[in-house]
Amino acid sequence: MSMDRRQFLKIAGSSTFLATIGIGAGWILSKPGDFLEASQFSQTKELLNAKQWAMVVDTRKFKTEEDYKKVVDACHRIHNVPNFDNPKDEVKWIWTDTYKHAFPGQENEFMPEQMKHKPFVLLCNHCENPPCVRVCPTKATFKRKDGITMQDLHRCIGCRYCMAACPFGARSFNYRDPRPFIKEPNPEYPSRMIGVVEKCTFCEERLAKGQMPACVEASNGALVFGDIADPKSEIRKILETNYTIRRKAELGTRPSVYYILEIPTSDISGGDSNA
């Protein structure tokens, strides 16, 4: 059979047209959930809701090593956060660091020794204006209506833009498969896989069950959690009656974690200012 150019184009053109219609029709017909119109999704009844969740860290109540440890362990145990031996691979949701590193620019060489060496509890600040959300190319990191900076790990491609954007070091990358490094996996919570970034979620899975975050529960009142948009909340009362600071507030990310500092005071006229 011989075919000239014109005929060939006619056949090719019409078959492409038909195929397009066919695929389109198939797509419309096969749209999932068609016969499940009655099903729907809703929130749990126990859900604790807020406009902007926030936390106050009362550093005065962290005294012994145990006080820090139980808070960090509570989080890392229930969330299957791996414990790598190599600090370069470290994955952390909540951790501690010195004043100088937690509040850079605020320190001075003459400040009380105990402040210089005191560890501060650090975690994701669930910023109201989060740079990590802005840079995430897949919208894996996003802001929930209750102010939590959430991460959809099904979408994370491990590009680590968010790590570069977060000024607080709140995010960790899984350089290795974390599974073998989780001592006692919590069967009720997933782990992560190699190549994704993870961080604190303000325990949104616990809020859905009407529970406070695990670290707050373990802290004996040293961490207070609440809705900062609600003027009647406990957290607002604490902020109104205590002087608090936030990490790197000058960057404009509007962190939602506040710190009450223990300020060793002495009367200025009273001489010994290092008491």
Q: Does 92 bind ligand SF4 (CB under 6 A)?
A: no
Between CA 53 and CA 251 the distance in angstroms is 20
Q: Nearest distance from residue 262's CB to other proteins, in Å?
A: 36
227-250 exposure pattern, b = at least 16 Cβ within 10 A, e = fewer: bbeeeebebbebbeeeeeebbbee
Q: Does 8 bind other proteins (CB under 8 A)?
A: no
Judged by beta carbon, residue 80 or residue 201, the one nearer ligand SF4 is 201
Options 181, 202, 258, 259; binder of ligand SF4; rule CB under 6 A = 202
Q: Does 103 bind ligand SF4 (CB under 6 A)?
A: no
Judged by beta carbon, residue 100 or residue 160, the one nearer ligand SF4 is 160
Going residue by residue from 62 to 91, which x/- string records binding to ligand SF4, judged by CB under 6 A?
A: -------------x---x------------
CB within 8 Å of 158: residues ≥ 6 apart: 173, 174, 195, 196, 197
Going residue by residue from 127 to 166, which x/- string records binding to other proteins, judged by CB under 8 A?
A: ---------------x-xxx---x-xxx------------
Segment 185 to 204, residues that bind other proteins, using CB under 8 A? 185-193, 204
Q: Does 141 bind ligand SF4 (CB under 6 A)?
A: yes
Between CA 190 and CA 169 the distance in angstroms is 23
Residue 136, binding choice from ligand SF4, other proteins, none, Cβ under 5 to 8 Å by partner class: ligand SF4
What is the C-alpha end-to-end distance of the chain, expressed in Å? 103
Cα→Cα distances 235→55, 109, 139, 180, Å = 7, 32, 30, 39
Closest to 50 measured CA to CA, from 247, 256, 252: 256
Q: Does 162 bind ligand SF4 (CB under 6 A)?
A: yes
